[in-house]
Amino acid sequence: MFGKKITDDNYIEFLRRKDERALEYVIARYGGFLRAILRNRLALIPDMIDECFDDVLLKAWEHADDYDESRCEFKSWLAAIARYRAIDYLRRAKREAEVMAGTSIDDMVTEPGAFDHRITQIEEAIESEAESMLSCLSPKDREIFRRMYIDGDSIEDVSRELNMPKEQIYNHTSRSKKKLRKMYEVSRVTQ
């Protein structure tokens, strides 16, 4: 093994330099932690945990330069990447289950309705994860954000139904987005 030894003090620096030893260090140090997050989040699709784990590590490897030590701990940054990737995998599983649900009954290996049940379970998991991520917002901000960005309601509908001017709705959503960005500063990493 050549070069400087990878330690707690320098692994991020070496990860940014694309030194594979740093990635091995991250796996050894945080692998169990990441797998626990993914097992919890992807319990409905356990066959995807390993692939998602690899994907999380790839995102951390590719975007190590985006990590900002002054904003959060590396462990928290990795956890945020894992949560975002888990949501993406759940969405993909939902799409696949919807395609399978459209398959004729004769082609199905499982009992009729099994994929409908899986779709419902996956939707509930996505909903639960979104709710967890939005829990940092006030109840009013959470409702506005949910209606506009998750339910897809128009600003006019939200304004009318909550009896609030559009400008106030925009202010609430702007504050919410800033707060969420600050809490989960990895959105561009997971794209």
pLDDT per 10-residue tile (average), the chain, 191 residues: 80 93 94 92 89 95 90 88 88 78 48 57 72 79 81 84 89 82 54 44
Closest CA to 101 of 118, 123, 87: 118
Two tokens at 140? 């009013």
Q: Could you tell me if 141 and 172 are in contact, meaning their C-beta atoms sit under 8 angstroms apart?
A: yes
Q: Work out the angle at residue 153's Cα, subtended by the Cα atoms of residues 151 and 158, and round it to the nearest 5 degrees.
A: 120
Per-residue tokens: 16: 């940014």
For CA atoms 28, 65, 19, 10, give the dihedral sign. negative
DSSP for 78-129, please give it: HHHHHHHHHHHHHHHHHHHHHHHHTS-GGG-SS-TTHHHHHHHHHHHHHHHH
Query: Per-residue pLDDT tens for 32-69?
Result: 999 999 998 888 888 999 999 999 999 999 999 988 88
The predicted pLDDT at position 117 comes to: 65
**The two structure tokens encoding residue 54:** 């690899």
The pLDDT assigned to 121 comes to 72
Structure tokens given for 93 = 């599983």
pLDDT given for residue 108 in this prediction: 42
**pLDDT one-digit tens code per residue, 164-177:** 998 998 888 888 88
Fold topology of 135-191: Arc Repressor Mutant, subunit A (1.10.10)
- What local confidence, expressed as pLDDT, does residue 116 receive? 59
